A and B are shown apart, each in its own frame.
Chain A
């Protein structure tokens, strides 16, 4: 009996060791610094970070490619990694990615765990409505309207706070909201303007929706880095160069084409994070 118990403990230890090494495996790639760069992006946000087969498209992706190039990584040295909102800090802290370009708003709570460079874009919370709907002109005309946003997002919280008694449907992703907006079950989708523009610019949705264009918050999108990074200054310089050269504007136009979307007057960003 005693022997059996020892055997069981040994087996458990073996299993634990296996699982631990399995987790460690992904870290190894990070040790080869200078060879490849792993960049976290959204895989499911058309117009910003979107996985289309084996290629990646969107504004975040274009900025990421430009910055990586400036840091000395050509396009074939970039490995894109999916970085869903809730995982971004962890991905950086555990060194599973080197940089994150994923609609990552700079704020103080996040700075306690990660570092930021940028911003490379200043988004603002806005509304997406059906193209033939002129009854919604901004935040003040939302009385009695039905809205949709993503569960747990800043936009959902903001609208609950700012428009008391709002009828808000919370969905898992903005694509689900689009379906509801199209059938008329809801009147508007609310989140950052550039995300909305990206949704409206996909070929399936072209011409059906429009961004209202009256942002009511400020969301500076930064480049997420881990706390011990040494790239912050270089990334800021790269972003400045991208803006000055006109590449930034080109990337923005390309990804929001056909939606009539104009970024707020705060763009292009001029004030960058102080790198420590």
Chain B
């Protein structure tokens, strides 16, 4: 116990700082992937074949590419070969590249979440929107998507939860986040061993469980009564 407390003395500030980095990554990547994912979903339900094909191709490519590979690509190719500098701050550059990687990957899942929501909207809704003279985009914006979002709360929540946990993959992108610090702590505090791992795992549980409960509650509250 004494040994465990001394871990917090030694690394407490850095643990919080790194975990905060994970939450920041989650925040920005979720906003970005929601925007990109919605655009992709609109493409996939649009009447234009080339847009549909693009949306389908994007989802199939990035949903099937391991996130670690996307992250490693960011560092070894974008930074390594093309010397990409999004920011003059050396470390912030990797933070931004990591957000791009997380966004590209999770947008595919977000798109599919929205599409599953679209499937809950009865066909008659789209037909009625057409009947009152709405084109594709106004119909999507005013009729289909509002109902689709409300029907897709649970899958969107799942994307968010997956995203929170996947921020640890930013480790491969040289971001100082919690799983990298976990490795450092295991290296330096061999005496504590598995306790370090459990501490980090517990931090994620503390964040993810309330989000799961919130999502369940929202999905009930916002469900479209038909």
Contacts and interface: CB of A to CB of B under 8 A. Distances in A.
Interface of A: 85-86, 89-90, 107, 109-110, 112-114, 146, 151-154, 156-157, 167, 169-172, 176, 179-180, 183, 185
Interface in B58-107: 72, 75-76, 79-81, 83, 90-91, 94
Interface of B is mostly: helix
A194 B188 CA distance: 21
Contacts of A114: 190
Nearest to B71: A172
B17 interface: no
A85 B94 contact: no
Given A112-B191, A151-B180, A179-B80, 9 more contacts: A85-B187, A86-B187, A89-B193, A167-B90, A167-B91, A170-B171, A170-B180, A171-B75, A172-B171
Determine which residue in B80, B81, B181, B188 has the highest number of CB atoms from chain A within 10 A of its CB, and name it.
Answer: B80
B81 A171 contact: no
B76 A146 contact: no
Given A109-B190, A176-B76, A185-B80, A156 B184 contact: yes
Nearest to B190: A110
A27 B186 CA distance: 24
A157 B79 CA distance: 22
B130 interface: no
Interface of B: 72, 75-76, 79-81, 83, 90-91, 94, 171-172, 174, 176, 180-184, 186-191, 193
A180 B84 CA distance: 13
A130 B189 CA distance: 34
Contacts of B94: 169
B86 to A, nearest CB: 14
A133 B75 CA distance: 23
Contacts, number: 71
A172 B175 CA distance: 12
Contact of B184 (A112, A152, A171, A176): A152
Contact of B171 (A85, A109, A151): A151
Contact of A152 (B83, B91, B180): B180
Determine which residue in B91, B187, B189, B191 has the highest number of CB atoms from chain A within 10 A of its CB, and name it.
Answer: B187
Given A176-B72, A179-B80, A152 B191 contact: no
Contacts of A171: 75, 172, 174
The 7 closest A-B pairs by CB, nearest first: A152-B183, A167-B90, A112-B191, A110-B190, A152-B184, A151-B180, A170-B174
Contact of B81 (A110, A157, A183): A183
B80 A157 contact: no
Contacts of A113: 190-191, 193
A171 B171 CA distance: 8
A29 to B, nearest CB: 23
Contacts of A109: 188-191
A156 to B, nearest CB: 7
Contact of B76 (A107, A151, A154, A180): A180
A183 B80 CA distance: 7
Contact of B188 (A157, A170, A172, A183): A157
Contacts of A86: 183, 186-187
Given A109-B191, A113-B191, A179-B80, A169 B183 contact: no
24 contacts: A85-B187, A86-B183, A86-B186, A90-B193, A109-B188, A109-B189, A109-B190, A109-B191, A110-B190, A112-B191, A113-B191, A151-B171, A151-B174, A151-B184, A170-B171, A170-B174, A171-B172, A171-B174, A172-B172, A180-B79, A180-B80, A183-B80, A185-B79, A185-B81
A165 to B, nearest CB: 9
A170 B177 CA distance: 11
A151 B184 CA distance: 7
A45 to B, nearest CB: 16
B76 A112 contact: no
A110 to B, nearest CB: 4
B72 A112 contact: no
A224 to B, nearest CB: 11
